[in-house]
Amino acid sequence: MAIVETVESDGRRRLRVASPATEQPIGDLPVTTGDEVRAAVARARRAQPAWEALGFDGRAAYVQKALAILIRRQEELIDVIVRETGRSRFETVMMEIFPACDSLGYYAKNAGRILGDRKVPMHLLKTKKLLITYRPLGVIGIITPWNGPFILSLNPSVQALMAGNTVVLKPSEVTPFSGRLVGDLFRDAGLPEDVLTVVEGDGETGAALVEAGVDKISFTGSVRTGRKVGETCGRNLVPCTLELGGKDPMVVCADADIERAAGGAVFGAFMNAGQFCCSTERVYVIESVADEFTRRVVEKTKALKLGKEGEFDIGPMIWPKQLETIERHVADALEKGARLLSGGRRATEVGNLFYEPTVLVDVTHDMAIMREETFGPILPIVRVKDEAEALRLANDTVYGLAANVWTKDEDKAIRLAKGIFAGSVCVNESAITYGAVEAPFGGRRTSGVGQVNGETGLRGYCFAQPILLDRFGTKDEHVWYPYTADKTKMLQRVIGWLWGTRVGRWLG
Ligand code: NAD
């Protein structure tokens, strides 16, 4: 059964989408062809200089207007996202609308400060002045997944736009109506034509965008697709950020607040039904508190309510294929000796695409559930004898997206955080770094390349162009022609003084 399928109508491919909660049709829309993608990129390129020329304040005015529209029309947007993802309204506001408002507001307000020209004092070349300017790259291609269909499309778009680029956005084919809300929002804010274009379709459209001559690709999605995108970008010498999957560990120390840690584990693992790149997918808990922690986790898990309308906690799997991965991982774990403490089955009484939040113990790293991204509501718990074992196991993975550590000792927390090979670490909090706009966000190892968000992310949509200015306007420079033996000696004397004496080293 497909929640999205590609159909042919009047010689054109169309995406036909149904709700993962009710399986009722939502609608269909035309797939953008490769030629149309290339034309959109060409138009975006023509629109870019005028957009850049507006300056930070001019661009911010449109972004602030989009924010005002988002606030005013949020119920309408929530309806679209809820229909397409099956999530609760609360989760939609928390995961999509709140961070979208923050992204629009923050970058509108701060991009000028972060990307404004910077004078940098020269430590050595005192006869020169250095100005660092952040020049937009040009046209940014943004390709996004279905698990946060609105925010993951909006957030990179806002950053790229505020940096002075134009954007061609390709949202996931699984949730195209939520992705296209980004285009609607900016259109209604009066954004000049072709500054942001949404193209629709599956991998074919995405691949066409990567090859369409853009100046950067900002990709969020699976490792498998990320590799393909990275290969193409490498061949075409196009910079890219790849925000990919994870298998995030959680470490619970003996001195942790066990009630808070248990609540954090349940939220971290089951938020968005586990369809979150920074989901807690592995827990390592110190033996002495493992029973108490596990008891509280199971109690909280059993209290969660699956549903599709009104007030509920857990919605369906948005992408039906995800259920196959979940079932394969759980079956493999049980076959190899894991024990189920809760869940472990589809909740067909609620709907075909619902899976019960599941707690597993006696899991080992021989099981797929501890090695591959599950992307579902599964929480496997491992008892460890000490923090060293927790760290060793936490790092026993090909991924490195995020992690979380639970202890009352802040020094220990920071030491453990630095020991975990992950793009970001939260302490006494589940992985919420993506929502902290100031924090650079990205993965290590197979979890990604580059970072988005904050100052680092914003600068990533630019080329840092240094402009070096001569200060004194002398008629010539010592190093200019003619080259002579005297000049060589003089330069060597300078080297000897600068790096061979204490005063020189202090000055240099
Ligand atoms: P996916 O890789 O299947 O698809 C992502 C996007 O890439 C979609 O828009 C898709 O149409 C497009 N695409 C597919 N083939 C392509 C190709 N050959 N060239 C260009 N584009 C192509 O991922 P998904 O299933 O939509 O998303 C789930 C994955 O995303 C999970 O692994 C999750 O961990 C990851 N994710 C990562 C982050 C992060 O910030 N690190 C955030 C959210 C999701």
Give 401-417 pLDDT, tens digit per residue. 999 999 999 999 999 99
- The per-residue pLDDT for 1 is 55
> Mean pLDDT, the chain, as a whole number?
97
Strands in 244-377 per DSSP E: 248-252, 280-286, 339-342, 358-361
CA of 417 to the centre of ligand 1 (A): 27
| Mean pLDDT value of segment 96-109 | 98
Counting from 1 in the atom list of ligand 1, the atom nearest the Cα of 226 is 2
Counting from 1 in the atom list of ligand 1, the atom nearest the Cα of 447 is 41
Is residue 155's pLDDT more than 80? yes
| Mean pLDDT value of segment 96-104 | 98
- The answer to whether the CB of 328 is under 6 A from ligand 1 is no
At what angle are helices 287-302 and 258-270 packed, to 10 degrees?
Answer: 50
Can you identify the CATH homologous superfamily of domain 248-436?
Answer: Aldehyde Dehydrogenase; Chain A, domain 2 (3.40.309.10)
DSSP string, 108-158: HHHHHHHHS-EEE--SS-TTEEEEEEEEE-SEEEEE--SSSTTHHHHHHHH
How many angstroms separate the CA atoms of 117 and 440, rounded?
Answer: 21
Nearest to 206, CA basis, from 220, 195, 223: 220
Question: 312-341, pLDDT tens digit by residue?
Answer: 999 999 999 999 999 999 999 999 999 999
- The answer to whether the CB of 207 is under 6 A from ligand 1 is yes
- The per-residue pLDDT for 504 is 87
- The answer to whether the CB of 443 is under 6 A from ligand 1 is yes
Is residue 2's pLDDT more than 90? no
DSSP string, 326-340: HHHHHHHHHHTT-EE
| Mean pLDDT value of segment 476-484 | 96
Question: 205-222, pLDDT tens digit by residue?
Answer: 999 999 999 999 999 999
Beta strand 280-286 pairing with 339-342: unpaired
Topology (CATH) of 34-244: Aldehyde Dehydrogenase; Chain A, domain 1 (3.40.605)
| Mean pLDDT value of segment 355-373 | 98
- The answer to whether the CB of 146 is under 6 A from ligand 1 is yes
CA of 148 to the centre of ligand 1 (A): 11
- The answer to whether the CB of 203 is under 6 A from ligand 1 is yes
Q: Which residues are catalytic?
A: 243, 277
Domain chopping of the chain, boundaries = 34-244, 248-436, 476-507
Give the torsion through C-alpha atoms of 34, 145, 25, 200, to 10 deg.
-20
- The per-residue pLDDT for 414 is 98
Question: 433-456, pLDDT tens digit by residue?
Answer: 999 999 999 999 999 999 999 999
Q: Indicate which residue's Cα is closest to atom 21 of ligand 1.
A: 206
The preferred substitution site among 146, 222, 244, 401 for testing ligand 1, maximizing ligand atoms within 8 Å of CB, is 222
Q: Indicate which residue's Cα is closest to atom 37 of ligand 1.
A: 244
How many angstroms separate the CA atoms of 447 and 262, rounded?
Answer: 26
Nearest to 309, CA basis, from 4, 75, 83: 83
How many angstroms separate the CA atoms of 274 and 265, rounded?
Answer: 11
Q: Which two tokens stand for residue 225?
A: 């697709």
- pLDDT band, very low/low/confident/very high, at 202 (cuts 50, 70, 90): very high
Is residue 472's pLDDT more than 70? yes
- The per-residue pLDDT for 507 is 80
- Asked if the domains at 34-244 and 248-436 fall in one CATH topology, the answer is no
Percent of the chain with pLDDT over 70: 100
CA of 346 to the centre of ligand 1 (A): 24
| Mean pLDDT value of segment 77-85 | 98
Counting from 1 in the atom list of ligand 1, the atom nearest the Cα of 207 is 19
- The answer to whether the CB of 152 is under 6 A from ligand 1 is yes
How many angstroms separate the CA atoms of 298 and 106, rounded?
Answer: 38
- The per-residue pLDDT for 415 is 98
How many angstroms separate the CA atoms of 216 and 460, rounded?
Answer: 9
How many angstroms separate the CA atoms of 126 and 56, rounded?
Answer: 31
How many angstroms separate the CA atoms of 376 and 369, rounded?
Answer: 11
Across-strand partners of 217? 141, 240
Percent of the chain with pLDDT over 90: 97
CA of 365 to the centre of ligand 1 (A): 26
